[in-house]
Amino acid sequence: MTTYDVIVESPPADRNALENNKYLLQVARSVSSLGKPAKFNVVFQTKPPKLISYLSLVDRYGLNWVSRVPASGAEVKVEGNWQAVQLGDSYDLTDRGLWAPSSKNPNADLHSLNVGKNENTSAVHVVVGVQNPDTQIWTPVCTCYFSPTSTSITMM
């Protein structure tokens, strides 16, 4: 788990232009699946612009799963337990829907979140979430389809 502190200084003219257009300051991280382009869709914080904005973020990631992805805009209701993970970790999804550390994932990437095997009898969507350090609540940020015949997936 790493903590990042960001200080953004905005000249008054820039801040006024941002406010007038109803823009917000966002701090985000890119997410990608193996062989796919990165998407900046893991938003850590959003704030209105100020002359000086202070942001602090902690990258605490977790894995979970769902059998079906909900419609756009609907709440993601995970079906398993959140497993806290760090970049480079690799986990298998057991036939009971639990996460177990994977020591035999040849595709694991040290800079990614990795899932080695899906031992579930059906396909699932692996959910990556970030945890708010103040509330301990997990927020889903992306999903990746994972069939029982897939060899592994790498995310981030």
Model confidence at 62, in pLDDT bands (50, 70, 90)? very high
Domain that holds residue 102: 61-155
Which residue, 58, 83, 104, sits at the end of a domain? 58
pLDDT given at position 101:
96
Phi, psi (deg, nearest 5) at residue 14: -65, -45
- Does residue 42 sit in the same domain as residue 108? no
Question: From CA 68, how far away is CA 110, in angstroms rounded?
Answer: 29
Which residue, 16, 32, 58, sits at the end of a domain? 58
* 89-145 tens-digit pLDDT: 999 999 999 999 998 888 888 878 888 989 988 888 888 888 887 788 888 877 777
* 31-46 tens-digit pLDDT: 666 667 776 655 666 6
Which tokens go with 118? 């899906």
- Does residue 47 sit in the same domain as residue 83? no
- Does residue 29 sit in the same domain as residue 100? no
Higher-pLDDT residue of 6 and 34 is: 6
Which tokens go with 54? 């202070």
Q: Are 80 and 64 in contact (CB under 8 A)?
A: yes
What value does the mean pLDDT take over residues 33-60?
71
Question: From CA 53, how far away is CA 40, in angstroms rounded?
Answer: 21
